[in-house]
Amino acid sequence: MAKATFSVRRQTGFATIALVCFVMLYAPILTLMIYSFNDGTSVAIWEGFSWRWYERAAANEQVQESALLSLKIASIAAVLATIFATMAALATTRTRPYRGLTAIFAAINTPLMVPEIVTAVALLIFFASIKVATGYTGIAYLVAAHTAFCIPFAYLPIRARLESMDATLEIAAADLYATPWRAFRRVTFPLLWPGIVAGLMLAFVISLDDVVITEFVKSAGQDTLPTYMLGQLRRIVTPEMNAISTVFLGISVMVVALFFFMTRKKN
Amino acid sequence: MAISGTQSQRGGTHVSAAEAAAAFERRETRTRWLLSAPALITLAVASIGPLLIVLVYSFLQKNPNGGVFWQFSTDAWFNVILQRDIFDDTLQFADAHLSIFWRSVKLSMGTTVLALIFGFPTAYFIATRPERTRELWLFLITIPFWTNLLIRTFAIQEVIRNEGIVNSLLLWVGIIDAPIQMMFTDFAIMMGMLYVFLPLMVLPLYASMEKLDFRLVEAGYDLYATRLQVLRRVIIPLVKPGIIAGSILVFIPSLGAYVTPRVLGGGKSLMLGNLIELQFGQGRNWPLGAALSMTLLCIVMVALLVYVRKTSRQGGAHG
Amino acid sequence: MSTAAAAVEAKNVSKIFGAGVGEVRALDNVSVTIRQNEFFTLLGPSGCGKTTLLRLIAGFEMPTEGSILLEGEEVAHLPPFKRPVNTVFQNYALFPHMSVAENIGFGLEMLGKPKTEVQQTVDAMLRLVRMEELKHRKTSQISGGQQQRVALARALAPRPKVLLLDEPLSALDYKLRKDMQLELKRMQHETGITFIFVTHDQEEALTMSDRIAVMSQGNILQIGSPDEIYERPADRFVADFIGETNFIEAEVIERIGEDGRIRLPSGVAVSHKLASNAGVGSRVTLAIRPERIDLVRADGETHLKGKVDNIVYFGTDTTFHVGLDSGQSVTVRVQNRRGHQEILQVGDVVGLTIAPEAMQILRD
Ligand SMILES: Nc1ncnc2c1ncn2[C@@H]1O[C@H](COP(=O)(O)OP(=O)(O)OP(=O)(O)O)[C@@H](O)[C@H]1O
Ligand SMILES: [Mg+2]
């Protein structure tokens, strides 16, 4: 009776390694979060609970400015990328193969294939010469760069949604006297909406997280939260960094959880 | 409608049908391109176009004050692997570059192997969970993937710093009496990259394991295979596409990593990404930086090509 | 635009998909005239071009050649949303994000009809398809048969000149399908709209249609009323596709004007009307339905003789497979009015007689 049943799926040691893996993934992040509440200056010695680093971070003007810039860029870039990706998805799904289709796919996916550092350097060169020529050093460069690399991320869920959508629905709308625009407004768009929201959220998170390209493209004095943090990491770090990171992580996790929940509910 | 009536009387229906079809086709084509245009223009301006400029820059002469002189030159490409001795003008291998190349490849491969060692059992573990809890485990793997890479690197740094958790703990317990130097070593970089890229290994592995037909595993046991033999002879061959995909997905960003080696390697342990940056910063050798970027891009493209070839062949072999 | 104009007319329509090696000729120079208020059926095996013809009429595809006329007017240049034609799709294509009522009212709304009129028509349509109670349901929350009715109501609501139905019943189970066949007939009657109906179920075609067009490989082989198609199939394909048929080779031995005599494989000669191209000595193929053959005693006067190879009992009738001396097998169907099974057994030699009008000479 005591004999354990033989499980076909079991592999010796796999569960242990997997659990170690999960601990390894979460332990550093959790430690980082915990120490954001440390009363002391050290990120290793616990000296009691306090909100002081959060207060300090909130009062830090540089943090405020960079966080604001991050949100501004992520919002604009995510919205633009999602609109562009939606249009491109409409042009590239459920059509007979046409000349240029593969080229469009390749173009949309380049940001996924090209190493970030290479794109960053390329943008540095290109935008540097434009900055010299025009004298303009605003956030348009960052917005353009972010929009570009967000497009494939927004494109993926939208395209997936379109492909799983019944193509005869639009034909049925046309059959029932809907002009192409009205068929889009009344049928395609409402059905595509969950995909568009998912794309928007992915694009937003991706833009918010970017370090490398922003670091190379930004003009002097322009810092997003990640580039600000990258600069700070060179110095002695205080739990203020932990506090900023914790808030940042919270936002990302929330958006991703929402995305996960939304895409799951559909199936 | 009256117009079409006369048309069909005059020219015969033949022409008008073909013409209508052609006009329709033209409209379709125009709509498609108009819809793709914003995305394509954005990508052309902020991704593909600049890459072409990098290619051009790699064939220009460097301006020691930063930037370039508009003069054709192959020096940069030359300098990627060779350097001219300042004294006797002989050609030598550019040791500094080559060693960084080598380190990048070595560390990326090491990271990939480690990721496979940890990722394979993890993916298998998730794939063999009951339907209900599987989603949760998967979610737990996905979360770190979508959280900020810099923050995750920072988190690792806090763990392995001289004053970090590990050293503090070991000191406190009394196992060591001086902190172990882990930061700014190859080990640190590899740990960091393993940490940040591990989900990229687990996800494709999981995708192919999820499709695994466990009746085949049963058949393996039925034919007297031990657990290890089933793993080696049945499971691994069946999930090979996932292994390849995961390895490529970890290897490519590792090779081009910039943030992780910058933070964890400090100025000492450079990787290709940092070498490239250096040329645009202190090095003031933009053409060399451009040539190095193109080299990195080429390696990545070759890796992707190998991947595409491998997977398509695999697909063919299975019918 | 006279009332005499045909509802739909296809003139020399061809449709080619793809180009070069992958070219598919889905329709090959098809001409057909569909009358007003007709229940017209397109019948043919899978891939013969039925859907393609419907899509051309609806405007979802453009003909490669030829023209399509709706009530006498060329519509080649009209997009689908400007054609007074509605479709009941094979998979229904109901809008999942709208209620039953919203689906049915969609076409009228797109036509810019006032709200009250839309509501009235929707209610009338719901009554017509007997679905009043489910008005506010989402279309994903109703059964297959109900979805089918909503699809029908949605297509009928704008009162199209022509209604196209692409195998609307194929997804339903047998019982529901029989019910819906009757409903469809009733609705066509009540609305007076021209129905063009696609099916590959010959029984469905025979029972429902005013006229049938039998298609094969992008061509229309024969157009006629159900009994014309069944009794006088124009060629071997039609005869074979609709019902069961015996094909028997015969030789023309005499002809005077239209009349002539042909010799059956057994050597027996019979009189028959002949086509103009069948000269003396030429061979023709006869199509004979199994139920039009009588089994008689072998020693009497017979057209053909053979040995019973196999007997299959079907309940209402029994099928005998009779091997002729020439080696060919002939199928004979006899209604079960008792007696035959008891008399005949496998191995018995029997005679076959066929009424002259049951022998249909096929076009070659
Ligand atoms: N969009 C298309 N592209 C290429 N070939 C097509 C296309 N649509 C149809 N065809 C081809 O045209 C031929 C006729 O197709 P059609 O759909 O009209 O057949 P059908 O008679 O409706 O068959 P079924 O009974 O299976 O629905 C087929 O050989 C089909 O493969
Ligand atoms: Mg069809």
For residues C236 and C249, state if they share a domain. no
Domain of residue C145, CATH code = 3.40.50.300
Q: Please, what is the average pLDDT of chain A?
A: 89
Dump pLDDT digits (tens) for A118-162. Answer: 999 999 999 999 999 999 999 999 999 999 999 999 999 999 999
CA of C150 to the centre of ligand 1 (A): 26
Nearest ligand to the CA of C87 is: 2
Question: Residue A106 class from Cβ within 10 Å (0-12 exposed, 13-18 middle, 19+ buried)?
Answer: exposed
Contact A224, B150 (CB under 8 A): no
Per-residue pLDDT averaged across C228-256, rounded? 89
Q: Which residue of C has its CA nearest to B16?
A: C76
Query: Is it the case that residue A8 has pLDDT exceeding 90?
Result: no
Dump pLDDT digits (tens) for C75-105. Answer: 878 889 999 999 999 889 999 999 999 999 9
Q: A interface mutation test: which of C57, C81, C98, C147 has the most A CBs within 10 A?
A: C81
Q: What is the spatial distance between Cα A68 and Cα B77, in angstroms, rounded to a whole number?
A: 42
Domain boundaries, chain A: 54-263
For residues C123 and C13, state if they share a domain. yes
Percent of the residues in chain C that have a pLDDT greater than 90, as a whole number: 47
pLDDT score for B205: 93
CA of C218 to the centre of ligand 2 (A): 12
Dump pLDDT digits (tens) for C196-209. Answer: 999 988 889 999 99
Q: Does B254 reside within a domain? A: yes
Q: How confident is the model at residue A1 (pLDDT cuts 50, 70, 90)?
A: very low
Q: What is the per-residue DSSP string for C260-287?
A: EEEE-TTS-EEEEE--TT--TT-EEEEE
Domain of residue B130, CATH code = 1.10.3720.10
Dump pLDDT digits (tens) for C11-68. Answer: 999 999 987 888 899 999 999 999 999 999 999 999 999 999 999 999 998 898 899 9
Residues of C at the A interface, defined by Cβ within 8 angstroms:
58-60, 79-82, 85-87, 89, 91, 93-97, 106-107, 110-111, 154-155, 158
Per-residue pLDDT averaged across A104-113, rounded? 91
Whose CA is closest to atom 25 on ligand 1? C46
> Which chains would you list as touching C if contact means 3+ CB atom pairs under 8 Å?
A, B
Question: What is the position in ligand 1's atom list of the atom closest to the CA of C48?
Answer: 21
Contact A38, A50 (CB under 8 A): yes
For residues B123 and B11, state if they share a domain. no
Q: Which domain range does residue C92 map to? A: 3-240
Question: Hey, what's the torsion of the CAs at A176, A179, A182, A183, to 10 degrees?
Answer: 60
> Touching check for A166 and chain C: CB below 8 Å?
yes
Q: C interface mutation test: which of A175, A184, A186, A193 has the most C CBs within 10 A?
A: A175
Give the 3-state secondary structure of residue B148. coil
Domain of residue C305, CATH code = 2.40.50.100
B143 and A256 within 8 Å at the Cβ level: the answer is yes
CA of A175 to the centre of ligand 2 (A): 17
**What domain count does chain B have?**
2
> Touching check for A169 and chain C: CB below 8 Å?
yes
Whose CA is closest to atom 6 on ligand 1? C17
Q: Which domain range does residue B36 map to? A: 2-57
Q: Which CATH number applies to A54-263: 3.90.1150.10, 1.10.3720.10, 3.40.50.800, 3.30.70.940?
A: 1.10.3720.10
C322: left (phi over 0), alpha (psi -120 to 50) or beta: beta
Write the ipTM: 0.89
Q: C interface mutation test: which of B4, B9, B28 has the most C CBs within 10 A?
A: B4
A226 and B148 within 8 Å at the Cβ level: the answer is yes
Q: Which residue of B has its CA nearest to C29?
A: B14
The alpha-carbon radius of gyration of chain A (Å, integer) is 24
pLDDT score for B3: 38
pLDDT score for C209: 94
**What domain count does chain C have?**
2
Tell me, using a 6 A CB cutoff, whether residue C76 lines ligand 1: no
For residues B186 and B252, state if they share a domain. yes
Dump pLDDT digits (tens) for C307-318. Answer: 999 998 888 888
Q: B238 CB contacts (<8 Å, ≥6 apart)?
A: B208, B212, B213, B216
Dump pLDDT digits (tens) for C150-208. Answer: 999 999 999 999 999 999 888 778 888 888 888 888 889 888 899 999 998 888 999 99
Whose CA is closest to atom 2 on ligand 1? C17
Per-residue pLDDT averaged across B48-66, rounded? 91
pLDDT score for B6: 38
